[in-house]
Amino acid sequence: MQCQQQIINPYENNWHSTMDNVELDVPEDPRYWTRTDVAAWLQHTESQHHLPSIRLDRFFMNGKALCLMTMEMFLDRVPIGGKLLYKDFQLRLAKAIYNIDLHQS
């Protein structure tokens, strides 16, 4: 059981590090992202998680359009990494909507 926690916890800590906008210069609220912001977020997340190259032309949209996408839509566009992108986006959106601090325990 402890071994499983050691595997999960580093991933969770890494996950939260992608939530920091230190290297990502986009608005905190994804609903205000431009197409350029969406592309920057995709490239940032791709780099942070060592994902295969993401075709930006499949995400030629702003943040409001991303809000309408389901996980299946992300997976259709990015079969390897789509679920991670969806979850990262949803966490950012929830943080903006509910003004929550994801670093609190």
- Count of CA atoms in the C-beta half-sphere (13 A) of 72: 0
Position 101 confidence tier, pLDDT thresholds 50, 70, 90: low
Contacts of 8 (CB under 8 A, 6+ apart): none
Neighbours of 84 (CB within 10 A): 18
Q: pLDDT (tens digit, 9 = 90+) per residue, 5-29?
A: 444 333 444 444 444 445 799 999 9
The dihedral region occupied by 33, where left means phi > 0, alpha psi between -120 and 50, and beta the remainder, is beta
Q: Which candidate, 80, 79, 85, places its Cα nearest to that of 30?
A: 85
Position 4 confidence tier, pLDDT thresholds 50, 70, 90: very low
Q: pLDDT (tens digit, 9 = 90+) per residue, 37-95?
A: 999 999 999 999 999 999 999 999 999 999 999 999 999 999 999 999 999 999 999 99
